[in-house]
Amino acid sequence: MGWELGEGMGHPTEGRAPAAQRLQDRCHRDRRLYSGGDMAPAGSTRAKKGILERLDSGEVVVGDGSFLFTLEKRGFVKAGLWTPEAVVEHPSAVRQLHTEFLRAGADVLQTFTFSATEDNMASKWEAVNAAACDLAQEVAGGGGALVAGGICQTSLYKYHKDETRIKNIFRLQLEVFARKNVDFLIAEYFEHVEEAVWAVEVLREVGAPVAVSLCIGPEGDMHDVTPGECAVKLARAGADIIGVNCRFGPWTSLQTMKLMKEGLRDASLQAHLMVQCLGFHTPDCGKGGFVDLPEYPFGLEPRVATRWDIQKYAREAYNLGIRYIGGCCGFEPYHIRAIAEELAPERGFLPPASEKHGSWGSGLNMHTKPWIRARARKEYWQNLRIASGRPYNPSMSRPDAWGVTKGAAELMQQKEATTEQQLRELFEKQKFKSAQ
């Protein structure tokens, strides 16, 4: 009797090839399923090329995924502030997540510097930005990935629009990225295109490639600038790569990208396209995206996209002409692997994490139970209507919409805990809004 794989995972192996050889054969067969022929081994080293060199040649670039949400669930980030002190306080946790995304197939590792600005973090911002660069570069160096230095919208813009001051905040982060010699720059999670344009103008000062993504849906930004108009403004500001990230699920994000692409075409402008959507389904959210859903941020798990949802997202993004495809909040490493696997024929290789993952559930053909072995096929997973297991819960929610717009003091970043009196006032306001 040979080596058994364990309960629920295999059959007695008498008269069969050694387990290691069977696994190797299955991985080789899976690679052929993706490509129709031989494919480069999972995780094989590739020459490191710049982001624009890759995109200009038509290559698919796979981004990484969720940091804030994933590390909050793992106990390393505090919800509410959503700031990245973990790069200093728990570097091993951040390093591990970078490594998981790299194994899953990410070509780009973003520095974990979301909200790591002077206005949000006071004296800690420089140490956090430097440590974030070091961690991303350490992991990327082992796999040929690019490192992107990331900035995001400021809390200052929402209640006190000051172009000079905001640009200086961006420059503080940019100085660290330039000193650390990151491969390119990303301005992400902007809900006002005006502030995103300011970010692009600052990032262009060092001569590195610049990507920019807005957290908007098909209705446009918070000043009612349409997605097409947003794309045009960003292209004219000098952005090399333009798209959306966060706030909305896969299908809404792709709808927005279609509008951006049309805007660029109508203006006779060119830019590479990128999309990094949520790992959640959010068809019921309003203009503000998932932050307005009552489940945000601690009750979103029933909305999580499956790996098969993400394979469909990756294919539809590719067919739309988008070549930089990744994820944002809720996008786990297995979601990134799904992108890499779906686009393996175009990329010519599988990621290291695919060594333990059969194409479209093909690994289930080794299961002991016949009805589970019958699920080892693409048609089953493509057509399955997923149940939530919550029979008394609604399938959709009504977003909270308080009508708060730019200029309201309520949008100021809270640097200290909200007082009991302030909380009582918010609770009463919530009751009033819910009753309307």
- Annotated binding residues, as ranges? 246, 328-329
Residues belonging to the binding site for Zn(2+) are 246, 328-329
Token reading at 31: 């690679």
**Cis before 391? omega within 30:** no
Work out the number of other CB atoms within 10 angstroms of the CB of residue 304: 16
CA distance linking residue 326 with residue 314, whole number of Å? 8
End-to-end Cα separation, the chain, in angstroms: 70
Work out the number of other CB atoms within 10 angstroms of the CB of residue 319: 9
| β strands within 203-283, DSSP E | 210-214, 241-245, 272-277
Do residues 71 and 334 make contact, with C-beta atoms less than 8 angstroms apart?
no
Do residues 362 and 356 make contact, with C-beta atoms less than 8 angstroms apart?
no
CA distance linking residue 311 with residue 327, whole number of Å? 12
Mapped onto helix, strand or coil, the DSSP state of residue 341 is helix
Token reading at 180: 């650390």
| DSSP classification of residue 41 | P
The residue assigned the tokens 């959210």 is 285
CA distance linking residue 30 with residue 366, whole number of Å? 14
